[in-house]
Amino acid sequence: MDFPPERDLFQLTFVSSATRLLSNQELANLLVTCRRNNERRGITGLLLYHEGNFLEVIEGARETIEWLYRERLLKDSRHRNVICLLRGPTTRRSFPDWSMGYRKTAETTHPETLPGFNDLLEECRAPDVAFPDLSVQLRTFLRSFYRSSGLTNTLWSSV
């Protein structure tokens, strides 16, 4: 993937609530769509979902990130109560491979069969160790999402 010049990198982190609980199949479809669209736009980041809660980090060219947040993410009918936690320039990408994580439910759809799917629970549990180069604020948000969700079997996928 061609990334924007370092001077133009921008990162935005937000949380939101799903308008309804999403099934494994819906989450798998979301993963495929996001991977395709983000790659085309030069966006990387992380999307976590657990029982109706989202935490997302997007990074790329400032103009692209601001447009995506304003024109797509804030208007997406799958979620509401969007709260921007962090936004600003960054010197490098924190998540160079776009990834998505969520807790698998007892359905027949198995998202772990999608290409690049990994079980990376420990990284979310201890972001200080797993992601030492992240900002203190971003590591705190990852740790808080993990703790508040009571996660015990979170699945993350990486492209």
Out of 5-9, 47-51, 83-87, least confident range? 5-9
Burial of 147 (0-12, 13-18, 19+ CB in 10 A): exposed
Q: What is the mean pLDDT of the chain?
A: 76
* pLDDT tens string 28-61: 788 888 888 988 999 988 888 888 888 889 999 9
Distances (CA, A) of 26 to 21, 70, 111: 10, 23, 10
The top-scoring range by mean pLDDT among 12-26, 92-106, 107-121 is 12-26
Lowest model confidence (mean pLDDT) among 91-105, 110-124, 145-159 = 110-124
